[in-house]
Amino acid sequence: MGMRVPLIAGNWKMYKTRKEAREFARRFRELYHDTDIRAAIIAPFTQLDVLVETFKGSGIGVGAQNVHFEDEGAFTGEVSVPMLKELGVDYCIVGHSERRQYFGETDETVNLKVKKLLRESDIIPIMCVGEVLAEREAGVQNDVVFRQLEKGLDGLTSEEAGKLVIAYEPVWAIGTGKTATPQQAEEMCAMIRERISEMFGEDTCDKVIIQYGGSVKPENATEIMNMDEIDGSLVGGASLDPEKFMEIIDF
């Protein structure tokens, strides 16, 4: 892993009110202690300011779950990079499988968002890639993930690409209770790193954080995190509980 500092990020999806977010943040801040791992909570837009404020000075990161690629305009329901910058968030998920599945996210919009974040803010994109069950069963998972990588990262410089976090989330393992075996996860993360090396060179691929996401829980975190090519995880349901989330970070 060398110079890469692992990142464990909790994706809250569409859960918690501001009040619940504040209660979580206070409790998590009490439990949290310095480790060799970065921790972050990726929350709905309405809670971001509460989390930024409560986590101030703790070293715990905060991220948004989506962003638009334009600065402003007639895009009802969307939030822009300048709006996120003003809140002081550290990360932003781009291209989550649920955004792709339900909200029309494409490799092209992923690419526009990644460029926007990298070029006009210090917010680190967590770009999600992954195959659905039918693609895994047809044996085309590598083609699918490579296409998402190539299109999503199109036009980036090596320096820009080096700042990224890539989250590999096999869509068939999200919220289904099915987890990719640590070997399957490691294998795909290794191939992603190899592909990034071919696209941007060895130096860049050494810097990119590659997370695994897909039913990560305290029970399987150790095995997943001990894999060589996995630099962290994108945790779903288990991140809603401060004790459970801390257990994963303490794997």
Buried b (16+ CB within 10 A) or exposed e, 8-35: bbbbbbebbeeeebbebbeebbeebeee
Closest to 40 (Cα-Cα) out of 111, 103, 88: 88
Amino acid letter, residue 79: V
Single out the catalytic residue among 96, 98, 131, 186: 96
Q: How far apart are CA 46 and CA 48, in angstroms?
A: 6
CB contact at 8 A, 182 and 227 = yes
**Alpha-carbon dihedral of residues 83, 68, 92, 23, nearest 10 degrees?**
60
Closest to 65 (Cα-Cα) out of 47, 52, 86: 47
Single out the catalytic residue among 98, 105, 131, 169: 169
Distances (CA, A) of 90 to 85, 165, 178, 207, 234: 9, 12, 30, 17, 15
Q: Is 33 a catalytic residue?
A: no
Q: Rounded to the nearest 5°, which phi and psi values hold at 124? A: -85, 125
CB contact at 8 A, 244 and 218 = yes
User: 232-235 and 209-213: which strand pairing?
Assistant: parallel
Q: Is 98 a catalytic residue?
A: no
CB contact at 8 A, 211 and 234 = yes
- Active-site residue set: 96, 169
